[in-house]
A = this chain, B = another copy of it.
Amino acid sequence: MPRVTVHRKAHFNAAHRIFNKEWSDQKNLEFFGKCSNPNYHGHNYDLIVSVTGEVDPVSGFVMDLSILRRLIKSEIEEAFDHKNLNVEVSEFKKMNPTAENIAVVIYDKLRVKIDEKLDLSIKLYETPRNFVTYSGE
Protein backbone atom coordinates (compact mmCIF):
# COMPACT_ATOMS: atom_id res chain seq x y z
CA MET A 1 0.00 0.00 0.00
CA PRO A 2 1.21 3.56 -0.66
CA ARG A 3 2.72 5.47 2.28
CA VAL A 4 1.06 8.87 2.62
CA THR A 5 1.48 11.67 5.17
CA VAL A 6 -1.66 13.28 6.59
CA HIS A 7 -1.43 16.73 8.14
CA ARG A 8 -3.78 18.41 10.62
CA LYS A 9 -3.55 22.11 11.51
CA ALA A 10 -4.48 23.41 14.97
CA HIS A 11 -3.69 26.50 17.03
CA PHE A 12 -3.41 27.86 20.53
CA ASN A 13 -2.78 31.29 22.04
CA ALA A 14 -0.37 31.54 24.96
CA ALA A 15 1.87 33.85 26.94
CA HIS A 16 5.51 33.05 27.57
CA ARG A 17 8.87 34.46 28.53
CA ILE A 18 12.17 33.21 27.06
CA PHE A 19 14.84 33.18 29.72
CA ASN A 20 17.36 31.05 31.60
CA LYS A 21 16.42 30.87 35.29
CA GLU A 22 20.03 30.74 36.36
CA TRP A 23 20.87 34.02 34.67
CA SER A 24 20.16 37.58 35.86
CA ASP A 25 17.41 39.64 34.21
CA GLN A 26 20.21 41.73 32.73
CA LYS A 27 22.00 38.74 31.21
CA ASN A 28 18.70 37.38 29.91
CA LEU A 29 17.91 40.73 28.32
CA GLU A 30 21.32 40.85 26.64
CA PHE A 31 21.02 37.31 25.32
CA PHE A 32 17.29 36.92 24.59
CA GLY A 33 16.36 40.58 23.97
CA LYS A 34 12.76 41.70 24.40
CA CYS A 35 11.63 38.04 24.39
CA SER A 36 12.89 37.86 27.98
CA ASN A 37 10.48 40.55 29.25
CA PRO A 38 9.67 39.42 32.84
CA ASN A 39 6.05 40.53 32.38
CA TYR A 40 5.60 38.08 29.50
CA HIS A 41 4.48 38.54 25.90
CA GLY A 42 2.48 36.11 23.77
CA HIS A 43 1.73 34.47 20.47
CA ASN A 44 -0.94 32.83 18.34
CA TYR A 45 0.82 29.50 17.80
CA ASP A 46 -0.13 27.54 14.67
CA LEU A 47 0.57 23.83 14.92
CA ILE A 48 0.70 21.25 12.10
CA VAL A 49 0.82 17.60 13.20
CA SER A 50 1.89 15.16 10.44
CA VAL A 51 1.42 11.39 10.57
CA THR A 52 2.90 9.03 7.97
CA GLY A 53 1.83 5.46 7.24
CA GLU A 54 0.23 3.12 4.77
CA VAL A 55 -3.23 3.94 3.44
CA ASP A 56 -5.78 1.46 4.80
CA PRO A 57 -7.52 -0.14 1.80
CA VAL A 58 -10.92 -0.35 3.54
CA SER A 59 -11.19 3.23 4.85
CA GLY A 60 -8.81 5.00 2.47
CA PHE A 61 -7.28 6.64 5.58
CA VAL A 62 -3.75 6.65 7.02
CA MET A 63 -5.34 7.67 10.29
CA ASP A 64 -8.81 9.02 10.99
CA LEU A 65 -8.20 12.79 11.12
CA SER A 66 -11.11 13.30 13.52
CA ILE A 67 -9.27 11.07 15.99
CA LEU A 68 -6.08 13.06 15.42
CA ARG A 69 -8.04 16.31 15.83
CA ARG A 70 -9.45 15.18 19.20
CA LEU A 71 -6.01 13.97 20.30
CA ILE A 72 -4.49 17.39 19.54
CA LYS A 73 -7.37 19.02 21.38
CA SER A 74 -7.09 16.90 24.54
CA GLU A 75 -3.30 16.63 24.72
CA ILE A 76 -2.13 19.99 23.38
CA GLU A 77 -4.84 22.63 23.12
CA GLU A 78 -6.33 21.95 26.55
CA ALA A 79 -2.85 22.08 28.09
CA PHE A 80 -1.51 25.12 26.24
CA ASP A 81 -4.37 27.30 24.96
CA HIS A 82 -4.89 30.62 26.80
CA LYS A 83 -2.18 29.59 29.27
CA ASN A 84 1.03 31.12 30.52
CA LEU A 85 3.51 28.48 29.34
CA ASN A 86 6.14 29.29 31.98
CA VAL A 87 3.71 29.34 34.89
CA GLU A 88 1.02 26.81 33.99
CA VAL A 89 2.64 24.09 31.84
CA SER A 90 4.73 21.70 33.95
CA GLU A 91 7.24 20.85 31.21
CA PHE A 92 8.37 24.49 31.06
CA LYS A 93 8.93 24.97 34.75
CA LYS A 94 12.50 23.81 34.16
CA MET A 95 12.84 24.22 30.42
CA ASN A 96 12.88 27.44 28.41
CA PRO A 97 9.67 27.63 26.30
CA THR A 98 11.43 28.40 23.00
CA ALA A 99 9.65 27.27 19.84
CA GLU A 100 12.20 24.44 19.58
CA ASN A 101 11.43 23.14 23.06
CA ILE A 102 7.66 23.54 22.68
CA ALA A 103 7.80 21.46 19.47
CA VAL A 104 9.78 18.72 21.24
CA VAL A 105 7.28 18.67 24.13
CA ILE A 106 4.33 18.46 21.71
CA TYR A 107 6.05 15.61 19.84
CA ASP A 108 6.69 13.69 23.06
CA LYS A 109 3.11 14.16 24.30
CA LEU A 110 1.60 12.94 21.01
CA ARG A 111 4.17 10.19 20.25
CA VAL A 112 2.94 8.02 23.15
CA LYS A 113 -0.68 8.33 21.98
CA ILE A 114 -0.14 7.40 18.30
CA ASP A 115 0.42 3.88 16.90
CA GLU A 116 4.14 3.08 16.72
CA LYS A 117 3.77 2.00 13.09
CA LEU A 118 3.02 5.60 12.18
CA ASP A 119 5.75 8.24 11.87
CA LEU A 120 5.12 11.61 13.53
CA SER A 121 6.34 15.12 12.74
CA ILE A 122 5.57 18.52 14.29
CA LYS A 123 5.61 21.99 12.70
CA LEU A 124 5.09 24.92 15.05
CA TYR A 125 4.69 28.54 13.96
CA GLU A 126 5.52 31.03 16.74
CA THR A 127 4.83 33.80 14.20
CA PRO A 128 4.30 33.61 10.43
CA ARG A 129 8.01 34.45 10.08
CA ASN A 130 9.52 32.20 12.80
CA PHE A 131 8.73 28.50 12.91
CA VAL A 132 10.27 25.12 13.67
CA THR A 133 9.93 21.47 12.65
CA TYR A 134 10.76 18.32 14.64
CA SER A 135 10.51 14.64 13.69
CA GLY A 136 11.87 12.87 16.74
CA GLU A 137 15.43 12.51 15.53
Instruction: Give residues in A with beta carbon < 8 Å to B.
Output: 2-11, 13-16, 18, 20, 31-35, 37, 39-44, 50, 55, 58-62, 65-66, 81-84, 87-88, 95-101, 103-104, 127-134, 136-137
Contact = CB atoms under 8 A, between A and B. Distances in A.
B20 A41 contact: no
Nearest to A3: B137
B14 A42 contact: yes
A126 to B, nearest CB: 8
A72 to B, nearest CB: 11
Contact of A132 (B7, B9, B40, B66): B7
Nearest to A87: B39
B129 A9 contact: yes
20 contacts: A2-B104, A6-B99, A7-B132, A7-B133, A9-B129, A13-B42, A13-B43, A16-B42, A20-B59, A31-B59, A40-B40, A40-B42, A41-B83, A42-B44, A50-B133, A59-B96, A59-B98, A60-B96, A60-B97, A62-B100
Contact of A43 (B37, B44, B97, B132): B44
B15 A131 contact: no
Contacts of A50: 133
